[in-house]
Amino acid sequence: MLFYLGEVPQDKKYKNEPTQLEIGDNNTIREFCTFNRGTAQDKGTTKIGDNNWIMAYVHIAHDCHVRNNTIMANNSSLAGHVDVYDHAILGGFTLVHQFCKVGEHVITAVGSVVFKDIPPYVTAAGYDAQPHGINAEGGGIAPSLIGVGAASVDFQVSTGRMPMADMSQQAMRKKPLYSPEEVAALAAYVASLAPGPAIPTAEQLNYERDGNVAEGGELFRTNCAMCHNAAAQGGALTGGKYAPSLMGVEPVHIYEAMITGPQAMPVFGNQAITPEEKLSIIKWIKSVESEGSYGGASLGKVGPVTEGLLGWVLGLGSLIGIAIWLATKAR
């Protein structure tokens, strides 16, 4: 394999000063690549970080700094003093003008010519490359948004689960940060990235007309009760997670949850539960919601388990309290 690493800079100002090329760990460097050393007029060092995939015929000029986990496809070239940040992907034959910066998670199309800085998470293309949207491929703990569809965005953002500051926690339903118009615009953009589940229309959500309460209750007990409990009140799961209560949830969000499978919930496609059966489940949930609690506190509507536990705790606590009171009176 033939490549030229650490050759002198192609810069007329270079006068044989002692400069460097630094290459990190776990980089793949294919044939016929050329990496030049830095110049005394800059930092004196050309740097390449770790875990980069650098394909054939790539040129990295003097004083460039390529960070980590980047991909540079065949024949892409960096002029002098260019910064390429983590997880950027340069398509084949991409040319980057000197002193430009290519931000984190940027993607450039084949044959792009970059004359200006590209902000993070942007896709760019063309001669004098122009932005063409946001890179939605995700990374780390953030999932890809390509193919999730408008329904997933509407569910997560309209219920306030997203945006989320701490991705290590389970997303909770709360007041949404964005208006319905803003949510619709965001959902439309994500839907444009790739086909995915669409937001159900009002006609599709006519559960009063098309749903069956009895069938919905049977379907719920078969598919949903093991997590959300038999009365849709929610319940604890393993790993510190929980299935939320379905009381007060909008029908559209129940439907969207079934077709997108947020977080630990499975996706219930139309082969598993048909659209009509989904409407029956929604109708049954709404019938449970309208029943109310005629016996006082519902205690999760799980029957004698919580009622017996509450009676046992209150009864035992009362007996202990009486015993302590009698003991103090006998002294």
Does an H or E element contain 217, and which?
helix 213-223
CATH number at residue 61: 2.160.10.10
pLDDT higher than threshold 60 for residue 296: no
Instruction: For residues 31 and 69, state if they share a domain.
Output: yes
Q: What is the pLDDT of residue 298?
A: 61
Q: List the catalytic residues.
A: 62-63, 80
What's the token pair of residue 160? 């306030």
Number of domains present in the structure of the chain: 3
Inter-residue contact 68 to 24 (CB < 8 Å): yes
Mean pLDDT of 41-53: 94
pLDDT higher than threshold 60 for residue 213: yes
Other Cβ atoms closer than 10 A to 276: 13
Mean pLDDT of 46-69: 96
Q: What is the pLDDT of residue 3?
A: 61
Span 160-200, pLDDT tens digits: 998 887 777 888 999 998 999 999 999 998 998 889 999 99
Domain residues for the domain of 130 are 4-134
- Residue 4 pLDDT level (bands cut at 50, 70, 90): confident
Span 216-241, pLDDT tens digits: 999 999 999 999 988 898 888 888 88
Using CA atoms, how far apart are residues 323 and 150, in angstroms rounded to an integer?
62
CATH number at residue 281: 1.10.760.10
Q: What is the pLDDT of residue 108?
A: 93
Task: Kindly state whether residue 305 falls inside one of the protein's structural domains.
Answer: no
pLDDT, the chain, mean: 90
Q: What is the pLDDT of residue 142?
A: 75
Inter-residue contact 45 to 63 (CB < 8 Å): yes
Q: Is the pTM of this model over 0.75?
A: no
Span 78-111, pLDDT tens digits: 999 999 999 999 999 999 999 999 999 999 999 9
Instruction: For residues 160 and 277, state if they share a domain.
Output: no
